[in-house]
Structure 1
Amino acid sequence: MRYLPPLNALRAFEAAARHLSFKAAAEELHVTPTAISHQIRLLEDICGCELFRRQPRPISLTAEGQILLPVLKDGFDNFAAAIERLKNTADRPLVISVTTAYAAYWLMPRLRRWREISDIELEVRASETPVDLHAGEVDIAVRYAKSPPTGVKVVKIADDVFTPMGRPDVIGDRLNNPEDIVNFTLTDFRSKMPGHFGYVTWEKWLGEAIGDPQKAEALLSKAKFLKFSEASHAMDAALAGEGLALASNLLVGHLLDNGTLIAPFDITLPGMNDYALYLASNPRPELIEQFVGWLQREHEADTT
């Protein structure tokens, strides 16, 4: 007869081991950290060994815990995939997680073209917070990063560069060399995402443009800034005529093409990359591959 520990204990261990945090596991499973700790102690008693090193902080897996985690993780992924197959997945929208800026400035202007070639219904969820694909609520995440995460299927869809942009009527004939940007109000966005803060800044762009980072910093210390918590709001301000934005060619290339914005300089600052992320165990691989392939073709068209 097959004997298995209680499911709650297994779920508590898998979530805590995946996050390496009892608190994060508790938030995911909607219980208290104390409940997570109790369930893991129960599982350790059943297994006859410790699964976590609790000291020193942060917690880490013991050798026994490292053996158990991949088995449970694969098992829960398979359970989730099987349940999804039992649902009427053909009628459920393909759920896409993107950043707010990507949704507003890249995806929305192109959704009509998607509808022209596909009957697949999309549900777009815009947020700056990375999603957990293993939770099963999202099919594809499009994320901006220096390098892709591990543990999921990854498809690189685009590179990115940044350059100053603004409305033609705002710029006029006042922007003849890079140092002139200090005569404009500069919209500024500083991401709070890990690894993103300070990656692309006006100081870096001007330092690269004039070849003197210290001079660039001194010049910009006298400039006026409008600071925002989201990239899309910084772009909205530039489109409203409030000043210049250090903007992504990837996101607003169509606004340069139609003349809504102009970029007076060929000097660009490298950004990160956009990646499409999904689980190999997702029950609808054909739909995912169709959408990801469309993303790639659309981005390739932007650069030709």
Structure 2
Amino acid sequence: MPLPPLYALRAFEAAARLGSFSKAAELLNVTPGAISRHIRTLEQWFECELFRRHGPRVEISDAGRALASQLSDGFQSLELACEAFSRRRHELRLKAPSTLTLRWLLAALKNHAIPPVELASVWMDTDSVDFQREPYDCAILLGDGHFGAGTESRLLFEEWLIPICSPALVATARRQLADGELIHPSPDRRDWRRWLKRTQQHPHLNIARGKVFDTLEHGYLAAIGGHGVSVGDLLLSLDAIASGLLALPFNEAVSTGEGYWLVWPKGSPRAPSINTLYHGLVKAIPQPLPPSLIYLR
């Protein structure tokens, strides 16, 4: 069965909901006469009376009330669908690593100067994105700034690694790190290896031992729980340090030569919004880093 004209259904639904042709006309920005004509169209279509006319007064009929109850849900669904579609067109779809999301990004996105963002957080820390196959407008990736010929990137902040532990373990770690439990936030144990190589400390520390996790976030949680000494990103650790959940047993922070970059496809039509996002995120980065530490490049 073909559908009656949508404009007539919309006019009828508004008049039935508001109980007035005049109010429906005001809502839809037409004349009361247009509302009346649209409803007449529907009455001819369905071959029944939808409104009873009493001079200038109108009253919905039983048939009209039955139709209105069905249309109301339908138009509400249409409005919600259109609203969701419009919102998606204006939202940036952002991919970001889990640790960065939980330790900094969620708070940073509360900045009202940042455009609306639909966030997808990946639980395995990642240094790649395929904008041809993945449904993202941009991503925050850990790396050296080179993420493929078809991308553009801007640095958010550098990665500085530093040992972290619960405050209760600081004294033990400083006195004899080799006797404590190590936490490795990556399966290849690269974080401890990088820190030890650059600082030239604890040359006999056996990094083959200790607890091994898949992400920095797991390393943070294990350290907060007092399960050993981990290595974390200094900036992403600052809130937990300030709140007393974590402490720094050593003063040396080591640069990995990498950082967290905002990355997007070259020629993206969303570039203006991505640029606004970038500047908003930069303003949310804690500055400066603690001056009491020794920074080794």
Equivalent of residue 182 in structure 2, options 181, 186, 192: 186
Asked if the contact 2:183–2:231 (Cα under 8 Å) also holds between the matched residues in 1, the reply is: yes
Asked if the contact 2:145–2:153 (Cα under 8 Å) also holds between the matched residues in 1, the reply is: no
Equivalent of residue 278 in structure 2, options 276, 283, 292: 292
Cα distance, 1:281 vs structure 2: 2.8
Matching residue's letter, 1:298: A
Q: Report the TM-score when normalising by structure 2.
A: 0.60
Cα deviations across residues 155-180 of structure 1 (Å, max 9, x unaligned)?
A: 11111111111111233x32335xx2
Whichever of the two has the greater Rg, that structure is: 2
Q: Which residue of 1 aligns with 2:118?
A: 122
Give the secondary structure class of the aligned counterpart of 1:101.
helix
Q: Which residue of 2 aligns with 1:134?
A: 132
Q: How many corresponding residue pairs?
A: 202
C-alpha distance in 1, partners of 2:172/2:121?
Answer: 40
Matching residue's letter, 2:289: T
Cα distance, 1:285 vs structure 2: 2.2
Matches within 5 A, 1:1-304: 88=86, 91-112=89-110, 114=111, 116-118=112-114, 120-127=116-123, 128-129=125-126, 130-135=128-133, 137-149=135-147, 150-171=149-170, 173-176=171-174, 180-190=176-186, 200-210=190-200, 216=203, 218-220=204-206, 224-271=209-256, 272-299=258-285, 301=287, 303=289
Q: Are residues 293 and 260 of structure 1, via their aligned partners in 2, closer, same or farther at CA, if it must alter by over 3 Å? A: same
C-alpha distance in 1, partners of 2:266/2:251?
Answer: 40
Structure with more of its chain in helix, by fraction = 1
Cα distance, 1:205 vs structure 2: 2.3
Cα distance, 1:188 vs structure 2: 0.3
Give the secondary structure class of the aligned counterpart of 1:154.
strand
CA RMSD of aligned residues (A): 2.7
Report percent identity of matched pairs. 17
Q: Which runs of 5+ in 2 are unaligned?
A: 1-84, 291-297
C-alpha distance in 2, partners of 1:164/1:93?
Answer: 37
Q: Are residues 174 and 122 of structure 1, via their aligned partners in 2, closer, same or farther at CA, if it must alter by over 3 Å? A: same
Q: Which residue of 1 aligns with 2:70?
A: none
Give the secondary structure class of the aligned counterpart of 1:263.
coil
Q: Which runs of 5+ in 1 are unaligned?
A: 1-86, 192-196
